[in-house]
Amino acid sequence: MKHKLRAASVALLMTTLAACGSDKNAASTASTTSPAATTTQPDTTPSSTSAATTTAAAATPGAKAADKLASHLAPPETITVSEALSARPKTGVKVTFINAEVGPAPSFGVGVKAASEALGWQYTELGVDLRNPATVNSAFVQAIDGGAQVIVTAALDQALMQDALTTAKSKGIVVIDAATSNTVGNGITAIIGSTSQAASLWAGLPALQMIVDSDGAAGKADIAMAFEPQLETVHRPNLDAVKAEIATFCPDTCTTAEIPVPIGDVQAGKGAATIISFLQQHPEIDYVYVAGPELALGLAGALQEAGLTKIKFLGSAPDQAAIEETAKGSGAGWGAVPFVQWGWQLVDAAARSLGGQDVTVAEKAGIPIWLVNPDNASKVTFENKYPSAPAGYADQFKKLWGL
């Protein structure tokens, strides 16, 4: 398993990693930055009977951040795609899911399989061994040779499969990708929930929560962001999303710092130690944002043991264990992602492409994401150990498909 983590695009799929730290040398490479200021005018439109009170409240960073966050505090009730297919999809389509076999990758597969069966498609799954990156291209070749009309993948680097993608394109095979920073074209038909698109929510929402939480100090907050340098292409959009919200809502009073945590240290169970070492050297830090939930494993206990009890941590794409810990009071907020439902969206995109419809409708729709915090964590439901939403999503897709 540990060698599987070499592929940069599997960052969001690594919730099974053990976290813990590194030494001071790793922590000392962190860079502290203050986001460039942006001008934000206070909202002076009264929304209650007391205009003066409302105007004063709206002028604070926390109030403005809370206003943006308000619509993301509960699981979405509807799927993000709303345009029905022009005709019911044909049955018998051969679809192959290429499974990275780490973290939530199997959850994508659960969704793709269920959606394929609902359409009467023939589902096949092929795993890859990221200790040997050549197996990614080999799996694509096997899918093509097996007669796949649709190939679905998630969090696999385009470079690892480009030769097979070129072949797939020449044969007219639909390739639907997810959770990557890959580029549409050159064999990839569509990317549903690219990392750059999704990060604005799964990292942006925890950032807003930090700003809301810090408003008692007039929005003053010093935030450290833990990430894995070897997963730069996936973690960087998360860090950028955090910085973007800070630049918008508290440009003058909030700062950010980066904590690079090498994958090898995470694998060795030293990830939390790296984070703690940095925090001990930077006592001004109020919050820790973790770009992947594997970085939060063991962090709550490590903070307690180090006496850093006032520091709160938040993160992106939590699994069931992370959410259950949040319900108990560990962790202040997570940008939650329903991976099984996401698998249905990948099949929806494939059906649109096969039917000659505009697949960008599915790309632009994004994926359902909401903030899980201690107030709502106990109400989260799960599928395959990840959050599930919206309720009844399968029936909503079937209605769009004319089933």
Q: Is residue 254 scored above 50 in pLDDT?
A: yes
Q: Give tens-digit pLDDT for 50-106.
A: 433 444 445 788 899 999 999 999 999 999 999 999 999 999 999 999 998 877 889
Domain spanning 18-76+199-336: CATH 3.40.140.10: no
Which CATH number applies to 94-194+338-367+383-401: 1.25.40.10, 3.40.190.10, 3.40.50.2300, 3.20.20.80? 3.40.50.2300
Please tell me if the domain spanning 18-76+199-336 has the same topology as the one spanning 94-194+338-367+383-401: yes
- Decide if 254 contacts 33 (C-beta within 8 A): no
Which CA distances in Å does 75 have to 338, 372, 389? 10, 9, 6
- Decide if 261 contacts 11 (C-beta within 8 A): no
- Decide if 58 contacts 301 (C-beta within 8 A): no
Q: What is the mean pLDDT of residues 218-227?
A: 89
**What is the rounded distance in angstroms from the CA atom of residue 101 to the CA atom of residue 94?**
21
Looking at per-residue confidence, does 293 or 41 come out higher?
293
Looking at 120-216, list the stretches that DSSP marks H as alpha helix, in order from N- to C-terminal side.
134-145, 158-170, 195-202, 204-213
- Decide if 126 contacts 141 (C-beta within 8 A): no
Q: Give tens-digit pLDDT for 320-363.
A: 988 998 998 888 999 999 999 999 999 999 999 999 999 999 99
Report domain extents, the chain: 18-76+199-336, 94-194+338-367+383-401
Side-chain-side CA neighbours of residue 313 (13 Å):
33
Question: In the prediction, which pLDDT does 232 show?
Answer: 79
Q: Is residue 316 scored above 70 in pLDDT?
A: yes
Q: Give Cβ neighbours of residue 131 (< 8 Å, ≥ 6 apart).
A: 3, 4, 6
The pTM of the full predicted model, rounded to 2 decimals, is: 0.81
